[in-house]
Structures are given as C-alpha cells and as structure tokens.
C-alpha cells in the first residue's frame, strides 16, 4: 500500500505543480497586457513593475489553487485509468476510496494553506498592488479619500456627528457639529466647531460654540477656544482609502462590523464577506473530492484539452454558486454564514454522493 500511495501521490504532485504553474502563467500573461501599458504610459521604473507583479502573483496563485487541484485530479486519475492502474488496484482488492485517500488529504492541506493565505497574506497582497497602482503609478489620482466630505455617524445612543471634511489621514475633522438628545429623544445640546483635531491621544475641539436648549424654548450659547471631547474613535476610523471590501483582512472586517453594530447600522454585507474569507479556502478540498469520482469514471476519455475544459467549466459552476450565495446573503435572503458556505455545501453533497458509489465504477 505504501508503494501505491507513493506512486499515485508522486504522479499527482507532478501534474498539480505543472497545472498550478501553467494556470498562473496564463493568468499573469493576460493580466499583464493592460497593466504594462499603464506602467509604460506613466514611465514607471522596472523595479516598481517587478514589485507589482510579485504581489500580483500571490493573488493569482491563491485564485488558481482550487482549479489546479481540480485539473490535476482529473488528469492524474485519467492517466491512471488509461494505463489500467485503476483496474489493477481493484483487482488487488484495494478500495478506490482508500487508494485515493492521500489525494484527499493533499486537498485538505491545500485548503488549510489557502485559509492561512486568505487570513493574512492575500489581503496584504491586494492592498500592496492597490497602493502601487494608485499611489505610486497613478500618483493618487484615483483615491477618493484624501479629503472625505459630508460624513455623518452616531456616537453612542444619543449623539449624532456631522463632519464637513476629513483631512490629514483622519487626524483633522473640519466643520464639526454634534447633536445630543436627552432620554426623551429631544435635542438637549449641540456643539459646532471649526475643527476637531486628534492631539496627544485625545480629541480636542477648536474655536467652537456649545449651545444648550432649555425646556422653556430658550437657549444658552457658550463660545470656547478649545474643548476636550471623549470621542471613542481613532484617526484610522475616519481615513479610509478606496479599498475594495474584498481586499480587507478578516480582522479589519471584524472591527468594521463591531463599529457598525455599536452604532446601530446595517452590517450584513461586511459579515457575509468576513464569513467568505473562511469559506472560500475550502474550495480546494471540495474540488478534489468532486474530481476523484469524475476522473475515474471519465478517465479514459479525458485528455489534457478536455480535462482543462472540464476543470474550467466546473470551476465556473462553483464560482457561480459561490457568487449567488454571497448575493443572497447581502440581500438578507439567507443568513450570512449560510450564504458564504452555500456553494461548499452543494459541492460537498454532490461529491460525497459520487464518492459513495465510486467502488462500483467498472
């Protein structure tokens, strides 16, 4: 059994590595055509281009790992079936599930590797490519966050902030107004100031007026040159670059969800994306699970071209299910956790059903 395991796994790993390198190379070549035009038009140095594509290769590698596992499984078992190795295994009384168990374990290893990448490495790679392209190549022309305008948010349960402009990386808030309500939901007091600046670990109003609204309809306005305010926000909470939501890390999405939840704001979209960070890496394991019975059943008819076509078709089917699940979750049709794992559940049930009948394949 050890000899069989070494043989099958050795052949599988050769095909897997070839599939991974080939798919990543194809993806990068297609992706680089437009990117290089942009680099050359901005006279970007070659070192910067190399840095961009180094980070880009991490993104692409993460994306093609599941498809590489699917393609390698179909081709490896197809070759074994053509060489009558599958027939020999069955004739020796060895279960096909037992013979292919090392491949399943390798798929599980790939999912674990992808999970680690998706938690820490891939989001950083996304952000680095965004940083290089937008700030160092396009000189920040596409950033929308250098100055943010007309921002509203709740602070606690009784205060509403309005900020005209956010500058200096979130450390300077200009044109700030606070509306404070009492327990009866009536306007109690307000603060209007030219600026609110983050200084020495705290927030300080500059050149403003505090107005108290009395029950008899009168009000008292008190100007002040500066006033310390206990705002439980950091400058980073106000300075948000134009980063795609899918480029945020698991921890960043968690902090955003906590902040939105504390202010009573909807956070379903962020929750779906956070759950998706954990769910998507399972695709590699599920692709192997699904491809094993397919490769054995159709192995003799599957060549490289057809195997690539089948792998592409099945990958697109999975991606469609995955995207559909996320859309249902964002729309509130299904819970976020179910939305993120919807495609995985479908593929797992289908793959499990095919595996259960694998020993009956002739």
pLDDT at 147: 55
pLDDT at 144: 43
Position 362 pLDDT exceeds 70? no
- For the segment 302-315, the average pLDDT, to the nearest whole number, is 81
pLDDT at 158: 86
**34-43: Cβ within 8 A, 24+ apart:** 35/133, 38/133, 38/137, 39/137, 42/137, 42/138, 42/139
Model confidence at 302, pLDDT cuts 50, 70, 90, reads low
Tokens (6 digits) for 330: 């964002």
pLDDT at 359: 54
Give the DSSP per-residue string, 190-247: EEEEEEEEEETTEEEEEEEEEEEE-TTS-EEEEEEEEEEE-----HHHH---S--GGG
Position 35 pLDDT exceeds 70? yes
pLDDT tens, residue by residue, 317-329 = 999 999 999 999 9
Position 146 pLDDT exceeds 60? no
Position 132 pLDDT exceeds 90? no
Tokens (6 digits) for 38: 């942009």
pLDDT tens, residue by residue, 186-199 = 899 999 999 999 99
Alpha-carbon span 12 to 172, nearest angstrom:
57
- For the segment 280-296, the average pLDDT, to the nearest whole number, is 92
- For the segment 15-20, the average pLDDT, to the nearest whole number, is 95
Position 120 pLDDT exceeds 80? yes
pLDDT tens, residue by residue, 333-345 = 999 999 999 999 9
Position 104 pLDDT exceeds 60? yes
Domain boundaries, the chain: 2-139+271-360, 148-235
Position 166 pLDDT exceeds 50? yes
- For the segment 296-307, the average pLDDT, to the nearest whole number, is 70
- For the segment 109-132, the average pLDDT, to the nearest whole number, is 93
- For the segment 61-83, the average pLDDT, to the nearest whole number, is 92
pLDDT tens, residue by residue, 211-260 = 999 988 899 999 999 999 999 888 877 765 555 677 888 998 998 888 77
Average pLDDT of every residue of the chain: 87
Token look-up 């020993």 returns 359
H-type alpha helices, the chain: 2-41, 46-82, 85-91, 96-99, 101-116, 122-131, 235-238, 250-262, 268-279, 283-298, 304-330, 336-356
């Amino acid at each position: 059994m050890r000899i069989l395991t070494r043989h099958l796994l050795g052949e599988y790993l050769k095909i897997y590595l070839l599939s991974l390198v080939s798919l990543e190379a194809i993806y990068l070549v297609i992706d680089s055509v437009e990117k290089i035009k942009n680099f050359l038009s901005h006279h970007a140095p070659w070192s910067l281009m190399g840095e961009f594509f180094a980070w880009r290769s991490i993104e692409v590698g993460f994306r093609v790992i599941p498809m590489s596992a699917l393609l390698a499984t179909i081709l490896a078992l197809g070759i074994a079936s053509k060489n009558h190795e599958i027939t020999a295994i069955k004739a020796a009384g060895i279960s096909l599930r037992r013979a292919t168990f090392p491949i399943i374990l390798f798929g599980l290893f790939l999912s674990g590797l992808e999970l680690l990448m998706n938690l820490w490495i891939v989001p950083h790679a996304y952000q680095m490519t965004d940083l290089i392209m937008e700030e160092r190549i396009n000189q920040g022309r596409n950033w929308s966050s250098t100055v943010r305008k007309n921002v509203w948010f709740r602070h606690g349960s009784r205060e509403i902030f309005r900020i005209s402009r956010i500058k200096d990386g979130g450390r300077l808030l200009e044109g700030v107004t606070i509306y404070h309500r009492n327990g009866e939901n009536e306007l109690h007091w307000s603060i209007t100031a030219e600026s609110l600046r983050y200084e020495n670990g705290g927030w300080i109003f500059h050149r403003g007026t505090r107005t108290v609204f009395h029950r008899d309809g009168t009000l008292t306005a008190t100007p002040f040159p500066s006033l310390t305010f206990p705002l439980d926000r950091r400058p980073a909470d106000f300075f948000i670059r134009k980063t795609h939501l899918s480029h945020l890390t698991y921890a960043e999405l968690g902090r955003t969800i906590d902040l939105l939840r504390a202010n009573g704001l909807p956070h379903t979209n962020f929750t779906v994306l956070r759950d998706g960070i954990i769910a998507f890496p399972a695709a590699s394991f599920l692709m192997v699970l699904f491809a094993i019975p397919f490769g054995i059943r159709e192995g003799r008819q599957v060549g490289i071209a057809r195997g690539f076509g089948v792998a592409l078709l099945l990958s697109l089917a999975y991606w469609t299910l995955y995207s559909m699940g996320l859309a249902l979750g964002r729309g509130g049709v299904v819970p976020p956790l179910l939305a993120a794992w919807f495609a995985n559940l479908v593929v797992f049930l289908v793959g499990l059903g095919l595996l259960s009948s694998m020993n009956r394949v002739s």
